[in-house]
Amino acid sequence: MDTIEQQILSQSDHEENLFALTELVRERRAHLLRFILRRVRDPAEAEDIMQQAFFEAVKGIRQFREDSKISTWLYGIASKLVTNYLCKSPRAIYRWVDESVLELDASYACDPHGAVALRDLLGRLQHHLGMLPEEMRETIFLVAVEEMSYAEAAACLHIPVGTVRSRISRIRAYLEERLVEEGAGYTSVTRNCTTP
**Topology agreement, domain 3-93 and domain 99-192:** no
- Residue ranges of domains in the chain: 3-93, 99-192
Q: What is the pLDDT of residues 24-37, one digit of tens each?
A: 778 888 888 888 88
DSSP 8-state symbol, 61: G
* % residues pLDDT > 70 (the chain): 69
What average pLDDT does the structure give for the chain?
76
Phi then psi for residue 64, to 5 deg, are: -60, 130
Q: How far apart are CA 103 and CA 85, in angstroms?
A: 30
pLDDT score recorded for residue 129: 84
3-state SS track over 117-157: HHHHHHHHHHHHHHHCCHHHHHHHHHHHHCCCCHHHHHHHH
pLDDT score recorded for residue 188: 46
Domain 99-192 has CATH 1.10.10.10: yes
Q: How far apart are CA 64 and CA 75, in angstroms?
A: 13
pTM (two decimals): 0.49
pLDDT band for position 168 (cuts 50, 70, 90)? very high
Burial class (CB in 10 A: 0-12, 13-18, 19+), 81: buried
Q: Which fold has domain 3-93?
A: Rna Polymerase Sigma Factor; Chain: A (1.10.1740)
pLDDT score recorded for residue 160: 93
